[in-house]
Chains A and B, each alone.
Chain A
Amino acid sequence: MYAVETIDLSRVFELKGRRILALDGINIRIGKGEILGLLGANGAGKTTLVKILSTLLLPTSGSAYIHGHDVVRDAKYVRGIINLVSGGETPGYGMLTVRENLWLFSQLYGLSSGIARERIEMLIRDMGLEQYRDVRMHRLSTGYRQRLNLARGFINDPKVLFLDEPTLGLDVINAKHMRRYIRDWVDADGEERTILLTTHYLAEAEEVCDKIAIIYRGRIVAYETPLALKASLSDGVSIQVELLSNRTTKGSIVEEISSRDGVLACMLVPSQNVVEQGDHGGNARYDGSIDGLTRLRIMLDDDSKIPDLVSMLVMNGYRVLSVRRDQPTLEDVYMRYVGSMGNEES
């Protein structure tokens, strides 16, 4: 029996007469003790999948099981053994203290007073919230709120925990603390604990996940361990090229290269290691150029294509400053499967 299993799971949204296929025949199986990282652009279907699995949304077709229990028919049982933490959400009532908020949620799971008290104290300690125990939530910083949110997610000691972009908006220290905690939590009882983590941060997925699933337009396009995914690119070559140009339309060079024979993927190297742009990111983060300097990451099927590529760039008016061969990264994997668009999906 899998901790999470979906069979041909699909979900259609009807918006103003438009049918949007958010999930299209999803089949995943997450074993007990695993952390699965779900990667995908905004609108790819990550949150829809999490909502269906956490009983907040019904599927249009197909089925989903948590520890063998149908999320539609046995929703009540499923709720007792799961929990969900979403990044950037308010974890309770601002006028209640950290401890009171946790107590409130413990009661929704029917925890006895003794167990609730013990678990709340443990979570407060584990999350480093000791000095905020009796502080009202509205006085906490974003990082500590998210720690409280995570504590709320563990309050019923779930068998399956869904983490939907849990480190969204967190600083490096808080994000690291959270990643370390969830890894340790699963490792402490690998027979019973499972996590499905959606994230935009590839490093995060690589650091904590046993397996990675890439979702693109509602379909799972890759599903393997991070190592296996990277190995799957062994037939290709990953290079990084630095160019100088006065041309302002960076998009066109990407398209030009992508359309060439033997090019598997091409993208501008962003300033941060993120899969996609944030809501307010704009194009600046994706434009790897500084004063005419453009950095590209290109996947080729064969290294014999490198000289041709360089010639093409020179003929197009670019000054090639350097060509460096790289080891494939998870980013290459993502780019290979999702393509070079890197934009939000509609």
Chain B
Amino acid sequence: MAVEGHRPSPIGRGMSTVIRTVVQGVWLGWKVESNWTNPFVFLTYLIAKPIAGVILVGLVFVIGSSASGMGSREDLFFYVFIGAVFFIYPATMTVSLAYLVHEDRAKYESLKHIYITPASLTPYIVGRGMASAINASVSVAVSLIIGSIIFSNHFSLPLSIDVVRVDYPALVASILLGVAASILLGIILYAINLITFKLQYSLAEYTTGVLFLLSGVVFPTSMLPYPASLIGGALPTTHFLNAVREALAGDHAYTSMAYLLLSTLALAVISLACMNRVESLARMKGTIDRKAEY
């Protein structure tokens, strides 16, 4: 049955569909992931887990530096702590997008319904990634505040951030680029999971594990053996964390930001090509509505 009077004009219809899909993805992601009405879920994912991760890194720092007898090195603590806090962005977002296939395909069985709409999957994933970024921002803010209070008060390790010196435009730009890079990485993981089954539970964890090791989160990438150090240097997450550290310290962050921009653009080319190929490949392989069972 034709419904007249509601069809968008052909000009701009494509763009309008993309924007609507992104917004729909953000809305759905917000509803699904940030279950604000359930304080338990909110506390678990947005507060307890991220804070525990940050405090864990901080305690390793305290115990390791105390065992080495090097005393409290505030500059190193700043490096490690800020690395751990802002690593929440790529960790949360890649996990969220990698699991999205399993969630939509097997748990809610909604992937097939999304796939058969005229919209491409990519704007939907971008929308979901943005919802995840909003959640991650809450976790980052809470971890930064609570973590710095704990380490400053209980372990005499104040976080050397001078609010006057912080380069706010660079900080905001770095975070936006970091979020974009995390969404693009998430799209690649989504694409892999869309055509495979074996990695749907582990791919996210492999990725966060590799990023944690190679992105200079808690130690500089220069300590890694070759070629791991080279890979670390090419990852946008490495430059994202460096740019954030520099912006917060009020240092010149633009070199790191330039690297971040370049690596994000490269990632964009790879991830969009991946998704483009995979959307039709999944249809050919019949993996859009198939469930893995163990």
Contacts and interface: CB of A to CB of B under 8 A. Distances in A.
Contacts, number: 11
A128 interface: no
B210 interface: no
A13 interface: no
Nearest to A90: B293
Nearest to A96: B294
Interface string B264-294: 0000000000000000000000000000111
Contacts of A138: 292-294
A94 interface: yes
A93 interface: yes
Contacts of A94: 292-294
A314 interface: no
Contacts of A7: none
A90 B292 CA distance: 13
A274 to B, nearest CB: 24
Interface in A118-161: 137-138
A138 B290 CA distance: 11
A95 B198 CA distance: 12
A210 B108 CA distance: 41
Contacts of B293: 90, 94-95, 137-138
Nearest to A94: B293
A137 B291 CA distance: 13
A267 B86 CA distance: 66
A183 to B, nearest CB: 31
A138 B294 CA distance: 7
Nearest to A137: B293
Interface in A81-97: 90, 93-95
Nearest to B291: A138
A90 B106 CA distance: 14
Nearest to B197: A138
Interface string B1-25: 0000000000000000000000000
Interface in A75-115: 90, 93-95
A169 to B, nearest CB: 15
Nearest to B293: A94
A83 B293 CA distance: 24
A138 B293 CA distance: 6
B110 to A, nearest CB: 15
A95 B292 CA distance: 10
A102 B292 CA distance: 21
Nearest to A93: B294
Contacts of A93: 294
Interface in B10-52: none
Contacts of A90: 293
B243 to A, nearest CB: 45
B294 to A, nearest CB: 5
A94 B290 CA distance: 14
Nearest to A136: B293
Contacts of B292: 94, 138
A93 B292 CA distance: 11
A93 B294 CA distance: 6
A97 to B, nearest CB: 13
A293 B292 CA distance: 46
A138 B106 CA distance: 14
A335 to B, nearest CB: 33
Interface in B54-87: none
A95 B293 CA distance: 7
A248 to B, nearest CB: 14
A18 to B, nearest CB: 21
Output the residue of A93, A95, A137, A138 with the most chain B CB within 10 A: A138
A285 to B, nearest CB: 19
A94 B294 CA distance: 4
B292 to A, nearest CB: 7
Contacts of B294: 93-95, 138
A137 B293 CA distance: 9
B133 to A, nearest CB: 35
A138 B292 CA distance: 8
A130 B292 CA distance: 24
A90 B294 CA distance: 11
B122 to A, nearest CB: 30
Contacts of A95: 293-294
A6 B293 CA distance: 38
Interface string A18-31: 00000000000000
B214 to A, nearest CB: 33
Contacts of A137: 293
A95 B294 CA distance: 5
A106 B294 CA distance: 20
A79 B293 CA distance: 28
A93 B293 CA distance: 8
B119 to A, nearest CB: 24
B286 to A, nearest CB: 14
B103 to A, nearest CB: 19
Interface in A9-56: none
Given A90-B293, A95-B293, A138-B294, 6 more contacts: A94-B292, A94-B293, A94-B294, A95-B294, A138-B292, A138-B293
11 contacts: A90-B293, A93-B294, A94-B292, A94-B293, A94-B294, A95-B293, A95-B294, A137-B293, A138-B292, A138-B293, A138-B294
3 shortest interchain CB distances as A-B pairs:
A94-B293, A138-B293, A95-B294
